[in-house]
Amino acid sequence: MKAALDAPASAAERRRVAAPQLRFDFDEQGRLVSLQGLPARQTDERASRRAVLTAEPLPPSPAGTRRVESDRFTATLDPESGAVRGAEFDGSVAFTEPGRKAWAGHAVYEEGAFRVTLTGDPRIADEGEGGELRGRRIELGTRSRNVTASGNVRHTITRKGKADPPGLLGGDEPAVLLCREFEYDSTARTARYRENALLRSGRDEVRAPVIVIDEPGPGRRRLTASGGTTSVFHPRAGKGAAREPEAVEARSRDMVYEESARRIVYTGDVEIRQGDILTRSPEAVVTLAREGGGVDRMIAGEPVEVVQGARRATGERGTYTPADETFVLVGEKVVLQDVDRRLEGRILTFQVGGDRIRVDGREEVRTEAVFKRKEPSKP
């Protein structure tokens, strides 16, 4: 059985409902106040067993057709105008519109808010953006593509094509974001992940109270983490390497990842550690490997402090190459303080896990000191 529900003129769409059974409820004045779509009573296997609501935009609207299927539904109407006030859908709800699909156990549509609220293990597949969103509760804008989600939110972002650069958001493995609260603004093309936000991309990860992904321009996605960030990256071993390099762990107040430049900028009390080398600086810039899956280079400063066991060194800028696990500290006055000696120069080179260190003197008086690391005496 089918019926048509007229929408307000401002909505510029025609709505149709179909179900095995339609029940019409009228008030004392004979005005329609509700409509129910119910399962079929007959046992004929060929009979339709689903209730369907279709919203078709009227010309010249460019919007696409929206469709909701469920086991049953109830729609409430304004008795004066006959306009739909809202509707509830129960049982295997499936929502489709151009570029987006959604599924849930229960859905509520609010006409005034132009919003659909999904509960009962809801999930959304965005074919345009390439990803899937899950949560305990998801809200969709029917006049926009805005989305909010709460409770065990899980957003999976897949690489849409070979044109996408590899990295945190476009590697061979999907990037997965977890949080408690999620918001997506379709106009600003901005996704916000709040409350214990976590991004995992392969073995790499970023943690922060708030993570924001936006797209300032085509192909220029940007990730911003704030409120105290922690990240872990696993560099790839160089050719002929006997083992995989140690993981690079970074902590800072804020970080910004620019996908097109494959660059991460850390600011605010930055600490970066790989193996036994720890650096402290107000800012650090990490460049990801061109093929993805690891760190190519890190530059920290200015100034920067390096700690390796009992050694402490300070300089203007430090460059770290995880592939060969080498850290080079430079400046007009690089100072190294060991257990029982102090050296000054312009270039100092550390090796992760190594017992040797090199200090190069000024260019006009080129000197070189090479010595073994001494461990402090044990109490």
Question: How confident is the model over 231-263, as pLDDT tens digits?
Answer: 998 877 666 666 777 888 999 999 999 988 889
Query: Does the pLDDT of residue 104 top 80, yes or no?
Result: yes
For 358, the enclosing helix (H) or strand (E) is: strand 356-360
How do 123-126 and 131-134 pair as beta strands?
Answer: antiparallel
User: pTM for the full model?
Assistant: 0.83
Q: How confident is the model at residue 15 (pLDDT cuts 50, 70, 90)?
A: confident
Q: How confident is the model at residue 7 (pLDDT cuts 50, 70, 90)?
A: very low
Average pLDDT value over all residues in the chain = 83
Burial of 4 (0-12, 13-18, 19+ CB in 10 A): exposed
Ranges 316-320, 323-327, 352-356, most confident:
316-320
Q: How confident is the model at residue 174 (pLDDT cuts 50, 70, 90)?
A: confident
DSSP 61-118: --PPPEEEEESEEEEEE-TTT--EEEEEEEEEEEEEETTEEEEEEEEEEETTTTEEEE
**Helix/strand/coil for 363:** coil
Say what the pLDDT of residue 309 is: 83
Q: Answer for the pair 227, 193: CB distance below 8 angstroms, yes or no.
A: no
What would the mean pLDDT of 40-60 be, rounded to a whole number? 76
Query: Does the pLDDT of residue 180 top 70, yes or no?
Result: yes
Residue 54 β-bridge partners: 16, 67
Query: Does the pLDDT of residue 98 top 80, yes or no?
Result: yes
Name which of 177, 178, 214, 209 is nearest 194 in CA terms: 209
Query: Does the pLDDT of residue 366 top 50, yes or no?
Result: no
Q: Answer for the pair 90, 109: CB distance below 8 angstroms, yes or no.
A: no
Say what the pLDDT of residue 361 is: 41
In angstroms, rounded to a whole number, what is the distance separating the alpha carbons of residues 165 and 291?
8
Query: Does the pLDDT of residue 363 top 50, yes or no?
Result: no
Q: Domains along the chain? A: 1-145 (2.60.450.10), 159-379 (2.60.450.10)
Q: Summarize pLDDT for 149-173 with one digit per residue, the tens.
A: 999 999 998 866 555 556 777 667 7
In angstroms, rounded to a whole number, what is the distance separating the alpha carbons of residues 237 and 293?
11
Cα 266 to Cα 3, 227, 366: the distances in Å are 59, 12, 34
Cα 282 to Cα 275, 308, 372: the distances in Å are 21, 19, 30
Q: How confident is the model at residue 47 (pLDDT cuts 50, 70, 90)?
A: low
Query: Does the pLDDT of residue 9 top 50, yes or no?
Result: no
Query: Does the pLDDT of residue 212 top 70, yes or no?
Result: yes
